[in-house]
Each structure stands twice: as C-alpha cells, then as structure tokens.
C-alpha cells in the first residue's frame, strides 16, 4: 500500500494547519470562555474550500475528496474541536445528503450556499426521548394538499439556533415503523412561523459550537421540501450518518494529537528532582501510548476516507470502526495528558482540560460508542 499523500493532500494539510494556527488559535481560549460561535471563521473556512472537498465543482465544490476533508478536519480539531462541527453541518451532513438524494432543483438551490457558508446548515434527528433508537422518534409530518405540516421537537442539534436550513426527519406514516420516516429540507428556520429554537448552554464541552433544541408547532412546508421519496428517510439518515461519523472520527484524531503534543511540550519543560519529567519512564510510557494510539486511529480514519473516495460511501463497518476507535482514543489520550500535566491539567490556563471535555462528546454524538459496537458486531457477523 502507498502511504504517501498526494501533492494536493499535502497542500491541504499545510493550508489547514496554517489556518488553525493563525485564524483560530489566537482567540480560541477567549472564545471558549465566552462560548462564542465564530461565523466569520466558518466563512473563511468556506472561502478556502474546506466544505467543498466532497462536493462536485458543478455545485461549488472542489472534489478533492473525503481524504482531504478528513485531513483538514484533523488539523482544525487539533486546535479547536468546536470548529470541526461545520464540516458535518455544512458538507458531510446536509450538502452531501442533498447531493445523493435531492432533485436537481434542490441541489442547485441549497448545495452552493452550504459549501460557501452563505447558509449555515444543521440536521435534526435526535429528540428528547429518542437518540440511539432513531425509529423511536415522535415527530410527525402530516401531508396536506399543498405540502406537509411538521409537529414535534428535536434535541441536542448542532448549529440549530444559528442555522438557516436543516434536514429534518419525521414520520409520514407511523404504521410502517422505520419505513414510514421521511426527510425534509427545511429552510428559513429563523423566520418560518411555528419554529422555535432554544440554545443549550449547560454543556460539558464544545463551547464554541452551538447546540440547541428546535420545536415545530403546525409548521407548514411545501411538497418540494421532501428529500428523496416519502418513506426513504431512514435510509437517508443512515447514509448521512455514514458520512458525518467520519467527521467525528477525524475530530477525535485531532484531539488525540493535541493531547500528545501538549504532553510532550509540558514534559520537556517541567522539572522534578532536578530533571525534566520526560526523563521518567512512566511519563515516557504515557506519551508513547498516546502516539501509538494516535497513529492507529488516524490510519482507521484514512482507510474509511479512502474507501469513500473510491466510491464506497456505504462503508459502514470501516466508518463505525474509525468513529468508535477515535472517540475512545481521544478520551484515553486526554485522560493520560491530564496525568502528565498533573494539577495544571485541571486549570483552564492549559488546554488539556478542554481536550478532556471535548473528547467526551465523541462517545455520544452521531451514535454512541455502545451503538458503534453494535453496528460493528452486526457487520462483522455479515
């Protein structure tokens, strides 16, 4: 196997690293303290083509591929896990789902503004009483002569209070169970009557990534809002998750790398008993384990991305394996980094406590770690 990156991929890595260092890092800690979402940074990311990697040039993309998107996501995640969320909310989520299932009219209307961040996107699956059990959702879309009427509430939705449009999953026929779920592209979220969004401020981490609740009360949408066919929503949802989970995995790799680098930096500077603590074998063991697990997690992410670039977007086993492993690796790495830094890791003056908080989210979002193990086991048996 050839493990050498192409010149294009090397360039994207360099651009991503440079952007993260110059545009995100200088204000990152202040933004974290203020829980500040930086729409201006999202727009700059779009201008550099970050959200166009998996989108054809016809719709404003650059077609550099899932590999480039994952590499960019890692570079951004190394500095700010929060700022990797737009990769899913713009590209791997709504834009790619519309590309795969939408009409030509929907593609032309929505994909370009998602790619260039003129519109901020979201996707609404989780509800207050249904998370891992997607088919357990209670939201409904009742068909009328001229459209659909949405009723229900979605919870823990990334970007929702700042989004302009969202994919919304709802039952059009509950008697058919999961085959009765449909997907809708709902735009004008901020002005449509009956839509209410409430931010969720009581989060452990990802402070610069908006998360909220959205409620629909007799919200009228046109028939043209239906994405794909009626009753195809569950398929669209699972296909979409096979893409956004790659983004989560790349985020985990970025966090793990940040933990490793911060641990090395501290271990070389901090002295005890007259020598840098890097001299102690237990510290070396922790740093070595972080490095090995980072390399393994990264390879799993790149494998899944490579398969997608070969046309296999439904590589569920590889994607869930990468997502599960990266999530658990990020948590272990952040925990190890806290041990290396000792008491200082508990202070917000150092970024390690943020890495720990942000890493924990990966065990829940886009399908919990337990659900990933169920998916992996079922696919292995197949």
Rounded Cα gap, residues 105 and 95, in angstroms: 13
Do 245 and 354 fall into the same domain?
yes
Do 175 and 94 fall into the same domain?
no
Residue 92 falls inside a structural domain? yes
What letters, b where the CB count within 10 A reaches 16 and e where it falls short, cover 297-324? Answer: bbebbbbbbbbbbeeebebbbbbbbbbb
Of 115, 145, 179, which one is at a domain's C-terminal end?
Answer: 115
Q: Which residue has the tokens 């001229």?
A: 146
| Parent domain of 348 | 234-381
pLDDT, tens digit, for every residue of 331-373? Answer: 999 999 999 999 999 999 999 999 999 999 999 999 999 999 9
What predicted TM-score, i.e. pTM, was given to this entire model? 0.97
Q: Which of 127, 213, 353, 366 is catalytic?
A: 366
Q: What DSSP line would sit under 112-151, residue for residue? A: HHHHTTSS-EEEE--BTTBSS-GGG---EEEE-SSEEEEE
Count of domains for the chain: 3
Instruction: Quote the Cα angle for 62-66-67, to 5°.
Output: 105
pLDDT, tens digit, for every residue of 154-166? Answer: 999 999 999 999 9
**pLDDT tens over the chain, length 382 residues:** 788 999 999 999 999 999 999 999 999 999 999 999 999 999 999 999 999 999 999 999 999 999 999 999 999 999 999 999 999 999 999 999 999 999 999 999 999 999 999 999 999 999 999 988 899 999 999 999 999 999 999 999 999 999 999 999 999 999 999 999 999 999 999 999 999 999 999 999 999 999 999 999 999 999 999 999 999 999 999 999 999 999 999 999 999 999 999 999 999 999 999 999 999 999 999 999 999 999 999 999 999 999 999 999 999 999 999 999 999 999 999 999 999 999 999 999 999 999 999 999 999 999 999 999 999 999 999 8
Do 152 and 91 fall into the same domain?
no
Of 232, 247, 275, which one is at a domain's C-terminal end?
Answer: 232
Residue 2 falls inside a structural domain? no
Residue 1 falls inside a structural domain? no
Active-site residue 366, yes or no?
Answer: yes
Q: Which residue has the tokens 């003056």?
A: 349
Domain with residue 327: its CATH number is 1.20.140.10
């Amino acid at each position: 196997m050839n493990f050498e990156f192409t010149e294009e991929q090397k360039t994207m890595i360099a651009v991503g690293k440079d952007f993260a260092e110059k545009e995100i890092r200088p204000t990152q800690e202040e933004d974290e303290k203020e829980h500040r979402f930086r729409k201006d940074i999202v727009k700059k990311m779009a201008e550099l083509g970050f959200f166009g990697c998996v989108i054809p040039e016809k719709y404003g993309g650059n077609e550099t591929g899932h590999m480039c998107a994952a590499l960019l996501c890692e570079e951004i995640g190394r500095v700010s896990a929060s700022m990797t969320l737009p990769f899913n909310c713009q590209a791997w989520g709504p834009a790619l789902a519309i590309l795969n299932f939408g009409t030509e009219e929907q593609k032309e209307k929505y994909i370009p503004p998602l790619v260039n961040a003129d519109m901020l996107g979201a996707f609404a699956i989780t509800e207050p009483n249904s998370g891992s059990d997607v088919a357990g959702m209670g939201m409904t879309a009742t068909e009328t002569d001229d459209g659909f009427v949405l009723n229900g509430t979605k919870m823990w939705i990334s970007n929702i209070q700042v989004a302009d449009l969202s994919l919304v999953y709802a039952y059009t026929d509950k008697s058919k169970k999961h085959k009765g779920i449909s997907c809708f592209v709902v735009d004008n979220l901020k002005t449509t009557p009956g839509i209410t969004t409430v931010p969720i401020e009581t989060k452990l981490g990802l402070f610069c990534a908006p998360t909220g609740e959205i409620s629909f009360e007799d919200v009228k949408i046109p028939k043209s809002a239906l994405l794909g066919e009626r009753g195809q929503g569950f398929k669209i949802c699972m296909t979409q998750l096979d893409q956004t989970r790659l983004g989560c995995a790349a985020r985990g790799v970025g966090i793990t790398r940040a933990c490793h680098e911060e641990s090395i930096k501290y271990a070389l500077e901090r002295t005890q008993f007259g020598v840098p603590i890097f001299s102690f074998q237990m510290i070396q063991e922790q740093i070595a384990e972080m490095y090995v697990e980072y390399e393994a997690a990264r390879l799993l992410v790149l494998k899944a991305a490579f398969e997608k670039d070969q046309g296999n977007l439904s590589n569920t086993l590889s994607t869930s394996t990468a997502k599960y492993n990266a999530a658990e690796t990020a948590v272990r790495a952040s925990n190890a980094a806290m041990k290396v830094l000792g008491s200082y890791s508990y202070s917000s003056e150092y970024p390690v406590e943020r890495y720990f908080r942000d890493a924990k989210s990966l065990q829940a979002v886009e399908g919990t770690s337990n659900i990933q193990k169920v998916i992996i086991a079922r696919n292995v048996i197949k």
